[in-house]
Structure 1
Amino acid sequence: MITLSDVHKAFGSNRVLRGIELEVPTGESMVIIGGSGTGKSVLLKCILGLVHPDKGKITLDGEDVETASRDAFLARFGMLFQGGALFDSLPVWQNVAFRLLRGALKRPKAEARDIAIEKLRRVGLKAETADLYPAELSGGMQKRVGLARAIAAEPEIIFFDEPTTGLDPIMAGVINELIREIVTEMGATAMVITHDMSSVRAIADRVAMLHDGIIQWAGPISELDETPDPYVQQFIHGQAEGPIAAIR
């Protein structure tokens, strides 16, 4: 569904992406792993058109994302942001229904609220949560609200940016399972960026290792532990010594 060919992006002298080659099959979950600051979020922003590559081509179903109609293009995506990114001044249901209350996907207010409550239930939150504000929720509940918002418009493609950041191990496990269930139910294509190996193993169909601006290795999750690639082995085992230089 998504193809990246020789994608480059630099910010001044900082060459973040140095020739990305990657294919994301329709209906599968692709997890991008790599250390902090390796360009995982920049990669997602390039696909969404929020950041424009300096070189290379990104296509969605064969269509160049640079020339696609923006409203129709973005309507195909849902996004779970790293920090939740909920609007503090809006009640939960309006956060979930944010895209359904405006723009090309606009629905009547009552219908949008009903959809929001349905999605909240799907992520394990009671209907009463709809009228609370984000500050009244725990971190785990906020993450569930973010997930409900990501799926509210029934997107074909969902991006997850560090979905378990800030969560304790038990809640992280719950969120990982929920993501996997929902993506499978919807038949959606998913891209996840994370450095949490428990998320990788719970969510991924395929894995790609991003380091030094390129994809060092990509393959099915079943081959992750057996690959001899030294970058992958150092990362998944958290080893201090290896080709990935630690900042000391």
Structure 2
Amino acid sequence: MIRFENVTKSFGPNHVLRGVNLHIPKGESLVIIGGSGTGKSVALKSVLGLVKPDGGTILVDGKDASTGDQDAFLARFGMLFQGAALFDSLPVWQNVAFRLLRGSLKRPAEEARAIAVEKLRRVGLKEDVADRLPAELSGGMQKRVGLARAIAAEPEIIFFDEPTTGLDPIMSGVINDLIREIVVEMGATAMTITHDMSSVRAIADKVAMLHDGVIQWSGPVADLDASGDPYVAQFISGSADGPIESVR
């Protein structure tokens, strides 16, 4: 469903992606791990066209992601943003139904609200939440609303950007379980970027480690602990000693 072919991207002298090769089969959940500033978010944004690669090709369902009708292309995606990124001035149901109230996916307001309430229920929130403002919700509830929004338009592909950032371990576990259940139910292709190893183990079918602008290692999540790669071993153990340089 998604294929990176020798993708490069630099910002001035900072070479972020140095030739990324990666593929995500349809219906698979891939988690990209790696230290801060290694290019995980740049890779994700490159698929969506928010960042234009300097070289290489990104294919989505066999077609060049940089060509064609961009509105129709983006309609295939859902996104759970880091920190939920809800619109403060809109009630919860309008946040969830944001894409269903405008553009090519536009539905009548009554229908859009009904879909929003259904998706809120799917992530464990009651209908009375629909008319609240985001500021009235806890961090965990806001994250659930963000997840409901990501799936509201029944996307084929869902991106998760640090889905458990700012959550306590129990709520992180709840969100991880919800993500896994929903991705499997929908048969969606998922791409997640995270530092949270509990998320990796809960969400991933396959893991890829991005380091120094390239995919250092990739494989099934079951092989993660026995990867034999020193970069992966250091990252998952959180050790200060190893090939990944730490700022002291």
Same fold (TM over 0.5): yes
Distance 1:42 1:68 in 2: 21
**Residue of structure 2 in register with 1:48 after alignment:** 48
How much has 1:130 moved relative to structure 2?
A: 0.2
1:56-100 Cα offsets, whole Å, 9 max, x none, are 000011100011310110000000000111000000000000000
How much has 1:247 moved relative to structure 2?
A: 1.0
How much has 1:135 moved relative to structure 2?
A: 0.2
Match status 1:160 vs 2:160 = yes
AA partner of residue 173 (structure 2) = G
Counterpart mapping for 1:42-121 below 5 A: 42-121=42-121
AA partner of residue 163 (structure 1) = P
Distance 1:41 1:83 in 2: 14
AA partner of residue 243 (structure 1) = P
How much has 1:114 moved relative to structure 2?
A: 0.2
**Residue of structure 1 in register with 2:187 after alignment:** 187
How much has 1:199 moved relative to structure 2?
A: 0.1
Equivalent residue of 2:219, what SS?
strand
Equivalent residue of 1:222, what SS?
helix
Distance 1:209 1:25 in 2: 17
Gaps in structure 1 of 5+ consecutive residues: none
1:164-215 Cα offsets, whole Å, 9 max, x none, are 0000000000000000000000000000000100000000000000011110
**Residue of structure 2 in register with 1:222 after alignment:** 222
1:85-142 Cα offsets, whole Å, 9 max, x none, are 1000000000000000000000000000000000000000000000000000000000
How much has 1:23 moved relative to structure 2?
A: 0.4
AA partner of residue 24 (structure 2) = V
AA partner of residue 237 (structure 1) = S
Equivalent residue of 2:23, what SS?
strand
Aligned-residue CA RMSD (Å): 0.5
Distance 2:84 2:11 in 1: 26
Gaps in structure 2 of 5+ consecutive residues: none
Distance 2:204 2:65 in 1: 24
Distance 1:71 1:178 in 2: 28
* Number of positions where the alignment pairs a residue of Structure 1 with one of Structure 2: 248
TM-score of the two chains, using structure 2 as the length reference: 0.99
Distance 2:143 2:39 in 1: 23
Identity across the alignment (%): 76
**Residue of structure 2 in register with 1:178 after alignment:** 178
AA partner of residue 116 (structure 1) = A
**Residue of structure 2 in register with 1:238 after alignment:** 238
AA partner of residue 137 (structure 1) = L
**Residue of structure 1 in register with 2:5 after alignment:** 5
**Residue of structure 2 in register with 1:139 after alignment:** 139
Distance 1:137 1:176 in 2: 19
